[in-house]
Structures are given as C-alpha cells and as structure tokens.
C-alpha cells in the first residue's frame, strides 16, 4: 500500500495480512515510525502519560491532542493517522462528539478518530460517521474509564462482560466503524470477536488471534521503565542506552573531551 487508508485495513484483513500499529505524538518519532513501514500511527491520549507525565489519560485536552496530531501529520508519507478524542470531549452528547472530531480533522489533518466505549456512545459515533469522519472503536480495557474499573487488570474475564463486549463489537461494525482496538482481554475472546467480524480487530494484550497489534512506542522501545505488563515486548532497552549516552556526555563535558578540535570552528 502506497498510502494506507481505512479501506486498505479492511482489505488487509480479508487478505489475511496482519496490521501493524504504533503510537506517536511528535514529528521526529512519527517520521521514523512511518519510514519503517508501520501501517497505522495512533496519536493516542497515552500522550497524557508518556508526554505529560500524568498518572491517567483523563487530563489531556482536545487542544493538546490537536497539537500532537498536527506534529505527527507533518511527518508522514504512508501511514494512516488515527487520533484519540480525549476524555470529556465526546461523552456528553453526539453534537459534542462531532464538534470534537471536526476540530481534529480540520486543525490537525488526521485521517480518523478513535473513541472508547460501546453502546453508551453509539449515537456519538453514528453522528461522527455521518459527517464522513472514519471512527475506530476501542473496547475492553478503556483507560478513560479507569476510575470506574479501579484497576488496569484484564477485562471481560466474566461471562456477562464478555457478552456485552461481543455485542458492542458487532454494533460498532454494524454502524460503520472501520476497525476496533481491543485492549487487555482474554486471547480466546479476542479471537472469537475477530473471527465474527469483517472489520479488523487491533489487539493490545489481546493475543495473536486478532487482525493486528498496537503498542505504545515508548514502551516497546524500552524508554519507560516501571510499566511491565505481560503483553509488552521490548524491542530495545533505550532507557539504559540513553542513560549511558547522557552519562558519557556529562563525563565528556566535565573533562573537556567534548568538543574536540574537529568539533569546533
Ligand atoms: O492511547 C493509546 O496509546 C491507546 C492504545 C494503547 C491503543 O489507546
Ligand atoms: Na488511548
């Protein structure tokens, strides 16, 4: 795919090609992620944790999400850019949801939005879709509801919550979402959902029976240290690499090793 679209993702699923997705919140990171051939870049509200140091995703604002998304958009040649609508910018009513989605599309140039939840936000999603804005769903562990859940443990282990999740996923497909993120649910349930839908299911902590995977880039690079869920595979230990580089820099500056003769004018 020369340029990934919401249609290409559905095609990938029907061709059995898995979808790769990672987060980015800034130009420099997005440029590297896009250049490496990652299909979808999520401007996640995890920026609230990763970029701003908040404990949850709740505090990040729509203006801040638009700032991150516009930085990412300027970097990319190929990936589809999905932007999270932050907490408090779509739950009140469908008009608010549409207004927020329109602001993201107009002011950042993003290609699609993501909202957390099932039937509770059905009308908001429909209204947004009716305006021609592609919507990605997000079910299972939905971090904007963390104070309702109380913990970040696996969701939908019990029959009743699993049934609701399946109903919600079917509903999201029926009203026209182009894909759904399933976060931290049993692999067996995730596989069942993926097999029963034609739109792609992108998993995070949802096993390998789904149609694609997403991780937070800073986590998979090993830049973050304290966050150690079972589903996280670290491809680098950048925390250590960067710490060593910074320490070396301090040593070199203190000892006047840096700059040397060839590093000055
Ligand atoms: O904000 C985020 O990074 C996300 C992914 C973890 C799916 O929503
Ligand atoms: Na998110």
Percent of the chain with pLDDT over 70: 100
CA dihedral for 46, 47, 50, 54, sign (positive or negative)? negative
At 1 the pLDDT is 84
**Catalytic residue from among 55, 183, 226, 263:** 183
At 225 the pLDDT is 87
**114 known ligand binder:** yes
Tracing tokens 């950042």 back to the chain, one arrives at: 108
Domain assignment of residue 45, yes or no: yes
At 19 the pLDDT is 98
**116 known ligand binder:** yes
- Residue 173 Cβ contacting ligand 1 at under 6 Å: no
Nearby residues for ligand 2 (ion, Cβ within 5 Å): 44-45, 84
Domain assignment of residue 168, yes or no: yes
Q: Whole domain around residue 152: which residue ranges? A: 6-220
- Residue 204 Cβ contacting ligand 1 at under 6 Å: yes
Query: What span, in angstroms and rounded, lies between the C-alpha atoms of 190 and 214?
Result: 14
Percent of the chain with pLDDT over 90: 98
Mean pLDDT value of segment 136-153: 97
Q: How does pLDDT run across 234-246, given as a tens digit for each residue?
A: 999 999 999 999 9
CATH number at residue 95: 3.20.20.60
Closest CA to 33 of 238, 244, 231, 214: 214
Q: Check pLDDT > 90 for residue 226.
A: no
Helix (H) or strand (E) holding 80: strand 80-84
Q: Identify the band that residue 35 occupies on the pLDDT scale cut at 50, 70 and 90.
A: very high
Domain assignment of residue 263, yes or no: no
Query: How far lies 225's CA from each of 73, 221, 222, 234, 237, in Å?
Result: 28, 10, 7, 10, 9
User: β-pairing, 19-23 with 201-204?
Assistant: unpaired
Domain count, the chain: 1
If you take atom 8 of ligand 1, which residue's CA is the nearest one? 44
Q: How does pLDDT run across 109-136, given as a tens digit for each residue?
A: 999 999 999 999 999 999 999 999 999 9
Q: Check pLDDT > 90 for residue 160.
A: yes
> Is the pTM of the predicted complex or chain greater than 0.95?
yes
Query: How far lies 254's CA from each of 163, 242, 257, 265, in Å?
Result: 62, 18, 8, 20
**Ligand 1 centroid, distance to 217 Cα (angstroms):** 10
This complex has an ipTM of: 0.99
If you take atom 2 of ligand 1, which residue's CA is the nearest one? 44
- Residue 23 Cβ contacting ligand 1 at under 6 Å: yes
Query: What span, in angstroms and rounded, lies between the C-alpha atoms of 4 and 143?
Result: 27
Q: How does pLDDT run across 190-219, given as a tens digit for each residue?
A: 999 999 999 999 999 999 999 999 999 999
Whether 62 contacts 89, CB under 8 Å: yes
**Ligand 1 centroid, distance to 45 Cα (angstroms):** 7
If you take atom 1 of ligand 1, which residue's CA is the nearest one? 44
**Ligand 1 centroid, distance to 158 Cα (angstroms):** 23
Domain assignment of residue 21, yes or no: yes
CA dihedral for 105, 99, 60, 123, sign (positive or negative)? negative
Q: Identify the band that residue 150 occupies on the pLDDT scale cut at 50, 70 and 90.
A: very high
Domain assignment of residue 148, yes or no: yes
Domain assignment of residue 144, yes or no: yes
Whether 223 contacts 239, CB under 8 Å: yes
Q: Is 107 a catalytic residue?
A: no
- Cα 53 to its chain centre, rounded Å, is 17
Ligand 1 pocket test, pick from 26, 214, 227, 231 with the greatest ligand atom count within 8 Å of Cβ, gives 214
Domain assignment of residue 246, yes or no: no
Q: Check pLDDT > 90 for residue 72.
A: yes
Domain assignment of residue 247, yes or no: no
């Amino acid at each position: 795919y020369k340029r990934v679209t919401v249609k290409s993702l559905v095609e990938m699923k029907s061709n059995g090609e898995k979808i790769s997705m990672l987060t980015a919140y800034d130009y420099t990171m997005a440029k590297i992620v896009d250049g490496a051939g990652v299909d979808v870049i999520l401007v996640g509200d995890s920026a609230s944790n990763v970029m701003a140091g908040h404990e949850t995703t709740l505090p990040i604002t729509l203006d801040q999400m638009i700032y991150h998304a516009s930085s990412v958009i300027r970097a990319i040649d190929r990936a589809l850019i999905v932007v999270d609508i932050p907490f408090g910018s779509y739950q009140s009513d469908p008009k608010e949801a549409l207004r927020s989605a329109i602001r993201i599309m107009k002011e950042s140039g993003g290609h699609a939005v993501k909202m957390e939840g099932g039937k509770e936000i059905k009308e908001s999603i429909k209204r947004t879709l009716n305006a021609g804005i592609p919507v990605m769903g997000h079910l299972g562990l939905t971090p904007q509801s963390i104070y309702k859940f109380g913990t970040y443990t696996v969701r939908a282990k019990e029959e009743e919550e699993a049934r609701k999740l399946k109903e919600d996923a079917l509903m999201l497909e029926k009203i026209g979402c182009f894909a759904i993120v399933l976060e931290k649910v049993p692999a067996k349930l995730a596989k069942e959902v993926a097999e029963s839908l034609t739109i792609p299911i992108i998993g995070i902590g949802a096993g390998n029976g789904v149609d694609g995977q997403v991780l937070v880039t800073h986590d998979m690079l090993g830049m973050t240290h304290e966050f150690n869920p079972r589903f996280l595979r670290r491809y680098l230990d950048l925390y250590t690499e960067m710490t060593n580089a910074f320490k070396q820099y301090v040593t070199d500056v203190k000892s006047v090793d840096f700059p040397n003769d060839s590093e000055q004018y």
